[in-house]
Amino acid sequence: MDDSTSSVVVGFNKKSLSYMLLGAAIFVVAGVFIWMSADNPDISPGRQLAYRIFGGAATILFGLAFVVILAKRFNRQVALVIDDQGLIDQASPMKAGRIPWDDIEGFEIAPAAGQTWFVVRLTRPEDYLQRVSKWRRHVGAANQRMVGSPVVISPNILDADIDELCMMLAARLEERRDASDEAPDN
C-alpha cells in the first residue's frame, strides 16, 4: 500500500472471502444434514424437533452468510478509499460511506468477541447511526457497545496489512489536524 499519493484504495481480500464462502457452504450442508437426520424414526419426538430447529437455523443463518459473502467476493467495489476529504467505508457491516476527516477522532485495532477489529473512532457516532437502514443501525449500535464505535471492520476482509493501514490513517489524520491548526482563522 502506497500512501504517498493523495488517494489510497484498499480492496477486499478475495482469498479470505473465498475461505469464508467455503466455511459458510460447509455449515449450510451440515444444517441440511441435521435437518434430514430428524427423519430417523429411532429418535424421540423432542430430539426430532431440536434437530429441525438447529438444522433449519444453521441452514438459514449460514445460507444468508453465504449469499452476503458471495456478493462481496465477486463485487468489484473497493473496501475503503482514503483521500484528502476523509475516507469512504464500504467494508464495515454498517457501510458508513463518506466519513470526513473532521468527523474522525482516531483509529485503533481493538480486541473484542475473540477477534481483532479495525475501529474508526467518530466524533459524532449517532449521526452515522441515523443515516443508515434500521438493520445496519442495529449492527452499528452493537458495535458501538462492543468497541465504542459503529464503524468496525474485520481486518480479515481487507487486502492490506492492518497495522500499516492504521498507522497510515493516523498519520493522515494528524497531518489534517496540523494543517487545520495552521490555517488562519476567519
65-82: pLDDT as tens digits: 999 889 888 888 899 999
Residue ranges in the chain modelled with pLDDT below 70: 1-5, 182-186
Q: Assess whether 48 and 94 both reside in one domain.
A: no
Q: Are residues 94 and 133 in the same domain?
A: yes
- Is the domain of 88 the same as that of 129? yes
Per-residue model confidence (pLDDT) at position 184: 63
Q: What is the pLDDT of residue 183?
A: 63
Both 106 and 17 in a single domain?
no
Domain count, the chain: 2
Which of these three, 52, 74, 96, is where a domain ends? 74
Residue 113 structural domain: 84-182
Burial class (CB in 10 A: 0-12, 13-18, 19+), 145: exposed
Nearest to 37 by CA among 26, 51, 25: 51
Share above pLDDT 70 across residues of the chain, in percent, rounded to a whole number? 95
Q: Are residues 62 and 109 in the same domain?
A: no
Domain membership of residue 1 (yes or no) is: no
Residue 18, C-beta contacts closer than 8 angstroms, at least 6 positions apart: 73
Q: Are residues 65 and 131 in the same domain?
A: no
pLDDT at 4: 47
Residue in the block written with cell 485503533: 108
Based on the domain organization, do 101 and 146 belong to the same domain?
A: yes
90 and 167 inside one domain:
yes
Say whether both 69 and 88 belong to one domain.
no
Helices (H), the chain: 14-37, 45-74, 125-130, 134-147, 162-182
Rounded to whole angstroms, the Cα distance separating 141 from 47 reads: 36
Q: What does the pLDDT read at residue 110?
A: 92
pLDDT for 134: 92
| Residue ending a domain, choose from 49, 74, 99 | 74
